[in-house]
Amino acid sequence: MITINNEPKRYEGVENRVQIMALVLALVFAIPCMRLWKLQIIEQSVYQSVADDQRISETTLESDRGVIYGKDDVILANNRASVSIVFTPGECPEVRREETCIRLASLLRLDTNAVMEKVSKNAGDPFQQIVIKSDVSRSELFRVEENSLNLPGVAPVVRPQRRYLYRETGGQLLGYLGEISKKQLKDPYWEERNYRQGDVIGQSGLEAQYEQQLQGEDGYLLVTKYASGRPQLRTDRGGMPMLAKTDSAGNVATIEGEGREPRAGEPLHLTLDIELQAKCESLLQGEVGAIVVLEAETGAVLAMASVPTYDPSVFVTHDPTGERSRLLNAGDPKPMRNRAYREHYPPGSVFKVMLAAAALEEGVVTPATSYYCGGGYKINGKGRTWHCWKRSGHGRVAVKEALAYSCDVYFYNVGLDLGVDKIQEWAHRMGMGVITGIDLPQEIPGLIPGKEWKAEEKKDQPIWDQNWYPGDTVNLSIGQGAASTTPLQNAVMMAAIVNGGYRVTPHLNRDALLPPSERFLSDATIERVWGGMRMCVEKAPPDYPSGTGWRAGVEGIGILGKTGSAQVMNLSHHEKYKTEEDIPYEFRDHAWFVAGVIDHEPKVAICILVEHGHHGSTAASVLAKPLIEYMYRERNLESVQVAQSSSEGA
C-alpha cells in the first residue's frame, strides 16, 4: 500500500531562519524594553527632577536685613513690608514686550525709555524678575492689578524694604544699599557668596562693612504650575506675603510642600549715641566739617558727624526727583564722603600736642625748658624767617605756655631738637598719619612725611630736591607742609592724652572692642601736657592773657583743649586781601579743635574740624562748649526731670 504525504515540503534550513527571525524580533523588542527600564528605573530620579522643574516653581522669599541698633538698643535701621512691580520677560511673548513696557511705564508714571533700557540690560535670563519700580503706592498697585490681563509677565511681589528711622542723622555712617553691579558680580569675593543679579547689598558705611552679618538667607516656596508661567508672591491687606492664586496670564498655582523659611540677617549693635550724633550734626549746620567723639578709654565711637550728609532712604525707595543721581555725582562739598575718616587735612597746631608729649617722653625738653619767641625764628640765626602766628611774639615760654598760647617758635625749636625720624615715629605711635583700624570701609591713612617719603616723592627731580632739610622739619613741627591727618586720627591721638598714654582702636560695633596698646606715655608727661591744655581752655583774669581755646571752657568741668589753624595757601597769598572775609572760601585756613574731658564719665576725646573756618579759636572751639554742656549738663538735667516727673506721677 502506498502512503501519500500531503504535508508541504519544508525548505532546507527553514528552522534556522525561524530561529534567527525570532532572535531579531526579540532584540528589537528588548531595546525599547531596556530603554524603558533605564528611563523608569535607573534614571527615574533625573527625569523626575526635570518633570518637577516643569511642574514646580521655586518662588523666592527674600530675607530681612539685620536690624541696626544704636547705643542703649535704639533702633537705627530696620525693615518693613513693601510691594515692588517686577517684569519677567520669559512670561511675556516677545512680540508684546515693547507694548507691555510702554503700558507699564504709563501706569507707573515712569520714563518709557528707562523701562525699556532696564529690560534690555537684563535680557540674558528670561525668567529673572526685573524690578521696574520698588515700594509702590497703593494706588499704583491697584492700577497695575486692574490692567493685569494686558500686562503679561508683570506682577507685584512683596519685598522687605530697608527703613532708616533717623533719616540724615548718621546717614553717612550707616551707608546706603544698592543693587549689586555686574562688575561686583565678577569679583571672586561676591561669586563665592552666591550673590546674583538683582540682589541688594551694602555699598558704603556700616551696611557695606557688615554686609555678611546683615544679609540674611533667602527662603523659597515650592509652587505647582499649570499650563505655563511663573506664579508671584504678593501681599495681603496687612502687607504680609501670600501666593497669588493665578498669575497675570490667568495660570492657576498652588503651594507644593513647605519650602524654606527665609532667615533674617543678624542684628548689629553699635556704640553710636544717635542723640549725640544729632547734636554734633546740628552744631555743624551751615558749615562743612566733622566732629568725632570717642570714649577715651575704649575707643567706642559715640558720635562721628560729617556735614553735609545724606539720607540713605533715598537709595531704597523710588526716586522721582533724581536725588539719588545728584548725590552720587555731586561735586564739592561731596555729601557722600565722610569727612571724619575719608578726608585728610593739614593738622596745623593740634599736631603740637603730639610733639610736646614726644619731646617730654624722649627727654628733649623738660618742664623748665624755655625758648624766646619774638614773633619769628631763623634756623641757626640766619636765612629765612619762620613767623609765629602772633607777630609780636609770646616772650619766653616753656611747654605749658607753648601749648596754651600755641607758640609756633617754641615748637620750631622742639621739632629741630627732636628730629624728623622721631616726629614721624611718635606721630604714628599716637595714631596720626596711619590707618586707625575703625570698622568702616575705605579709611584713608593721611601722611606724616619723612626722609624716605620725600626721596620717593621727588625721585624724578634733582638730588637736592630729594633731600630732607631742617626747613622741612620746621614746617612739619607745626603740622604744615605735606602733613595730613583725618579728624578721626586726631581724636585717637587725643584719646591717648586723656586716658594716660594708651592708643585705642576706634570702633562702632560694640562687639569689636580691641584691647588698647601698651602704655607709651609716663605720668609726668601726661601731667605736663594736661597742664598746658587746661591752661589753653581756662579763661584768665583780665590782666593776663587767656589760652587760645578759652571759648570752649565750661565751668565745673575739667576740659583739655588745643586749637589749630591749618594753612591751605601760603600766608603771602593772604596779604593782598584787606580782611579775612575777602579771602576766597577755598583759600581760607581750616579750623581745628581737639579736646578731652578728664573728670566726668565717660571720659571722652573730641575732634572738631570746620573746613575753611579761618581759626580754630573762633570757628571750632566755640562748638566744643555747647557739645560738652549737652553731654554732661543738659542730658543729665533731662534725665533728672524725667525721674522727678515719674515719681510725682506715682
What's the grid cell of residue 54? 516643569
- Provide the H-helix boundaries in 39-170: 44-55, 97-108, 112-121, 138-146
Calpha distance 109→527 (Å, rounded): 67
Q: Which of helix, strand or coil describes residue 76?
A: strand
The pairing of beta strand 154-164 with beta strand 75-87: antiparallel
Average pLDDT of the chain to the nearest whole number: 86
Report the half-sphere exposure of 124 (CA within 13 A, side-chain side): 6
**Highest mean pLDDT (candidates 23-32, 80-89, 188-197, 415-424):** 415-424
| CB-CB contact of 493 with 353 (8 Å) | yes
- pLDDT, residue 4, reads 55
Cis peptide leading into residue 602 (ω within 30°): yes
- pLDDT, residue 506, reads 98
User: Residue 428 above 90 pLDDT?
Assistant: yes
- pLDDT, residue 257, reads 57
- pLDDT, residue 645, reads 44
User: Residue 452 above 90 pLDDT?
Assistant: yes
Helices 470-477 and 408-418: crossing angle in degrees, nearest 10, is 130
Between 231 and 499, residue with greater pLDDT: 499
Q: How far is CA 425 from CA 54, 411, 517, 522, in A?
A: 68, 17, 15, 17
* Least confident interval from 244-248, 327-331, 596-600: 244-248
User: Residue 579 above 90 pLDDT?
Assistant: no
| pLDDT confidence band for 202 (50 / 70 / 90) | very high
Of 119, 90, 80, nearest in space to 235 by CA? 80
Cβ neighbours of residue 542 under 8 Å, at least 6 residues apart?
A: none
- pLDDT, residue 43, reads 67
Q: Per residue in 241-282, pLDDT tens?
A: 555 555 544 555 555 556 677 888 999 999 999 999 999 999
Calpha distance 610→612 (Å, rounded): 6
Q: What's the one-letter identity of residue 125?
A: D
Average pLDDT of the residues in 220-225 = 64
- Percent of the chain's residues with pLDDT above 90: 55
Taken in order of first residue, the domains within the chain and their CATH numbers are 57-269 (3.90.1310.10), 348-551 (3.40.710.10)
Of 161, 110, 115, 155, nearest in space to 134 by CA? 161
- pLDDT, residue 274, reads 96
- pLDDT, residue 93, reads 83
Q: What's the one-letter identity of residue 605?
A: A
| pLDDT confidence band for 650 (50 / 70 / 90) | very low
- Percent of the chain's residues with pLDDT above 70: 86
- pLDDT, residue 76, reads 96
Q: How far is CA 102 from CA 113, 127, 146, 247, 460, in A?
A: 9, 20, 16, 20, 59
* Least confident interval from 337-341, 387-391, 518-522: 387-391
Between 398 and 47, residue with greater pLDDT: 398
Q: DSSP assignment, residue 464?
A: H
Average pLDDT of the residues in 179-197 = 80
| pLDDT confidence band for 639 (50 / 70 / 90) | very low
* Least confident interval from 296-305, 321-330, 351-360: 321-330
The model carries a pTM of 0.84
- pLDDT, residue 364, reads 96
- pLDDT, residue 310, reads 94
User: Residue 550 above 90 pLDDT?
Assistant: yes
Between 225 and 624, residue with greater pLDDT: 624
What's the grid cell of residue 52? 518637577
